[in-house]
Amino acid sequence: MIDNSESKAFVQVFEIPPYRLGKLSGLTFGVKDLIDIEGYKTGGGNPTWENSHPPATCHAICVEQLLSHGAICKGKTTLDELAYSLLGENFFYGTPLNPKAPDRVPGGSSSGSASAVACGQVDFALGTDTGGSVRVPANNCGIVGFRPSHGRISLAGVVPFAPSFDTVGIFAKTEKICADVARVLLANEKKRGALKEVLILRDAFAMSDKEVQAALEPVLKQIRQRYPCREVVLEEIFGQGVTFETLRKIYRTLQWAEVWSSLGAWIEDVRPSFGSLIAANFESAKKCDRTQIADAIQKREEIKNKFNTFLGESSLLCLPTRALLAPKKGSVSIHSPGNHTSTPSFTPLAGLASSPELTLPYGHSQEGVPVGISFLASQGNDELLLQQFEDGFD
C-alpha cells in the first residue's frame, strides 16, 4: 500500500465505523469531497467553497447505505475544483498519484478516489460522474469504474453540478467488489436475464489512437471468443449524420447551462479564486447560449430513446473508454493544442442516454500505461451489465 503522504489521494483522513455487519463488512472506502460526511465541510476541491460553507449536518444517503452494510469510511478524497475537469490536477491541492503511470495524470474530477483505490489505500471509493469523472480516472489509473444509470443511486447530500447528468459512481480494485457495492447502492440483488450479444462500436475503435487500438486488440479477441458479438457503427444507432462530435456538442450545451444554473450565483457573489483551466471552464459555462437549451433537450431525448431501444434489454455496447492515453502531468493548459476538450470523446454517450457504463482495466500500452475498455447497457439495466463481469475476465 502507498501511504497518503505519497499518493495525496485524501484531503482528510479519519475513520467512521459501520453501523452494523453486512454485505460489505471488512471493506474500506473513501468519499469524494463533493459528497457530504456529517461533521465535516464538503470542500469541493476549492478553498473558497470550503470556507464559505458550513459542515454537513448528516451523511449523504449513499454513505449511509454503505455504513449500514458494514463498510468502513476512511476519509475524504481530493478532486478537481468543483468537479470541473477531467485531468485530476488541482491548482490548490496538487495532483494525486497515478501509481500505474506516475508521470501521467490520474484523471478527474474524482482523482483522489481513483488514486486511493489504485494505491491500495481503500478497497473501493465513491466518486461522481457527470461527463466522465469516474470513467476517465478509472481508465487512467487501471482500476474498475462504474457509472450507474442516471437516477438509480441517490444524489441527496452531493453538491449539484449538472443535475440531469450527475451520478454517484464507484471505483474498485476488483470487479466483484464493484458489483457488491453497486448492488448495495442500487438496492437491488436481483439478476437480469441472459446477455444476447455484445455490440462492438467499430468507429469508436477506429477513431482511437493507435496505442489504444493496439492495447485493446487482444482484449477484443477475448471478447469475441467469450460472447456472441456483432460490429455496429454510430449511425446505425442514431441515424445518418450523427457523430461523436454531434453528441459532444449536445452534451456541452446542456452541461454548461446546468453548471451555471447550479453554481453561477455563488461564483458571481463570492468571486472565488480558480486555477486557470477551471476558470476558463466556468467562463464558458457563463457565456453559453441559453437559447439553445430547449433544442438540446429535445435532441437528448431523441438520442436517449434511440440508444435504449437499440440496445434493448439484453445487449451491451463495447468501446474504448478513452480515445487517447492519459496525458502526461503538466502537459495540458488553456493554451495547449492538445487540450483534452478538443480530442475525440466517447464519454458523453452514457450521459445523454442516461445509461450505465462499466470501464474495465484490461489493456495497457507498450509503456505500461493503462487502457480501459467500456461496456454500456440500456438505461436501468445496471444489473445486466454488472453480472457479466463480476467474476473477472480472463
Secondary structure of residue 11 in the 3-state scheme = strand
End-to-end CA distance of the chain: 25
Give me 278's grid cell.
477551471
Phi-psi region of 167 (alpha: psi -120 to 50; beta: other; left: phi over 0): beta
- Phi first, then psi: give them for residue 117, nearest 5 degrees: -70, -45
In whole angstroms, how far apart are CA 358 and each of 42, 82, 159, 195? 27, 24, 23, 15
Sheet holding 28-32, edge to edge: 10-16, 72-77, 28-32, 124-129, 167-172, 144-147, 357-364, 370-376, 315-320, 197-201, 229-232
- Of the candidates 7, 111, 115, 133, the residue annotated as catalytic is 133
Secondary structure of residue 112 in the 3-state scheme = helix
d(CA 249, CA 293): 11
User: In residues, how long is the chain?
Assistant: 394
**Cβ atoms within 10 Å of 134's Cβ, excluding its own:** 31
- Is 133 annotated as catalytic? yes
Give me 277's grid cell.
483551466
- Of the candidates 8, 32, 41, 299, the residue annotated as catalytic is 32
Residue type, 300: R
- Of the candidates 85, 109, 113, 208, the residue annotated as catalytic is 109
Which residues, at least 6 apart from 290, have a Cβ–Cβ distance to it below 8 Å? 257
- Is 191 annotated as catalytic? no
- Is 32 annotated as catalytic? yes
d(CA 142, CA 291): 40
Burial of 102 (0-12, 13-18, 19+ CB in 10 A): exposed
Strand partners, 73: 16, 29
d(CA 237, CA 118): 35
What DSSP character marks residue 158? B
- Phi first, then psi: give them for residue 335, nearest 5 degrees: -100, 0
Catalytic positions, please? 32, 109, 133
